């Protein structure tokens, strides 16, 4: 599966050398909401599902409407949104992924009006999404999808040692543009 990771690494090339994952290709990966959720889960829980609150690996599926897992240790429901920037948001996983894609690929930034129009949500919700995504980036993005996975200025799922200061500043300019 092609992912942000590829895209972000590609972004580091000179402008005329860039290849990119097109919006079409990107969206085609997530035809359903379940596919989008599974993708985020695979990025967040690289080594298997863990409770976002206590870290226990002793979890099970649950029949809760919005939180499909149950932690046997702290006895609470959770989902892949729990303890991330998506926590408490009614916006679908697909739309979150699209918003992240659009914000990360726009060199000049994206207005909340355009973002809302592009992904089919109200401007106020788009503003909220963009605000949270940018805040996560500004915080080194380590909690965008939880502590194990980074959607940072370089790529999603990367390691700290692979970051470079110059690139970081460059990317900061990109994401602060709008």
Q: How far, in Å, CA of 38 to CA of 49, rounded?
A: 11
Select 59 or 105, whichever has its Cβ closest to Zn ion. Answer: 59
Q: Could you tell me which of 115, 160, 144 has the C-alpha nearest to residue 4?
A: 144
Select 13 or 53, whichever has its Cβ closest to Zn ion. Answer: 53
Question: Could you say which of 54, 107, 135, 138 contacts Zn ion (CB under 5 A)?
Answer: 54
The reply on whether position 53 binds Zn ion by CB under 5 A is yes
Beta carbon of residue 140, minimum distance to Zn ion (angstroms, whole number): 25
For 12, half-sphere exposure in the C-beta direction (CA atoms, 13 angstrom radius) is 17
Tokens of 135: 């805040």
φ, ψ dihedrals at 33, nearest 5°: -65, -35
The reply on whether position 175 binds Zn ion by CB under 5 A is no
Alpha helices in 12-78 (DSSP H): 23-28, 33-44
Question: Could you say which of 1, 74, 107, 135 contacts Zn ion (CB under 5 A)?
Answer: 74
Beta carbon of residue 74, minimum distance to Zn ion (angstroms, whole number): 3
Select 23 or 73, whichever has its Cβ closest to Zn ion. Answer: 73
Q: How far, in Å, CA of 68 to CA of 52, rounded?
A: 13
Query: Between residue 7 and residue 46, which ones bind Zn ion under the rule CB under 5 A?
Result: none
Q: Interface with Zn ion by CB under 5 A: which range of 47-55, 79-87, 123-131, 169-177?
A: 47-55
Q: How many CB atoms within 10 Å of residue 17?
A: 8
Question: Could you say which of 71, 80, 126, 141 contacts Zn ion (CB under 5 A)?
Answer: 71
Q: Could you tell me which of 50, 51, 35 has the C-alpha nearest to residue 94?
A: 35
Beta carbon of residue 77, minimum distance to Zn ion (angstroms, whole number): 10
What residue ranges bind Zn ion (CB under 5 A)? 51, 53-54, 56, 71, 73-74
């Amino acid at each position: 599966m092609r992912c942000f990771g590829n895209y972000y690494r590609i972004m580091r090339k000179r402008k005329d050398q860039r290849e990119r994952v097109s919006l079409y290709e990107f969206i085609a990966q997530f035809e359903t909401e379940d596919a989008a959720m599974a993708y985020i889960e695979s990025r967040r829980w690289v080594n298997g599902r863990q409770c976002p609150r206590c870290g226990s690996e002793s979890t099970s599926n649950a029949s809760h409407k919005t939180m499909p897992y149950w932690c046997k240790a702290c006895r609470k429901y959770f989902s892949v949104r729990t303890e991330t920037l998506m926590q408490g948001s009614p916006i679908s996983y697909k739309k979150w992924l699209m918003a992240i894609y659009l914000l990360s690929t726009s060199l000049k930034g994206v207005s909340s009006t355009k973002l809302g129009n592009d992904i089919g949500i109200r401007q106020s919700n788009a503003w909220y999404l963009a605000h949270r995504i940018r805040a996560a980036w500004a915080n080194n993005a380590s909690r965008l999808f939880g502590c194990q996975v980074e959607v940072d200025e370089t790529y999603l799922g990367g390691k700290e040692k692979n970051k470079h200061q110059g690139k970081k500043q460059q990317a900061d300019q990109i994401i602060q543009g709008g």
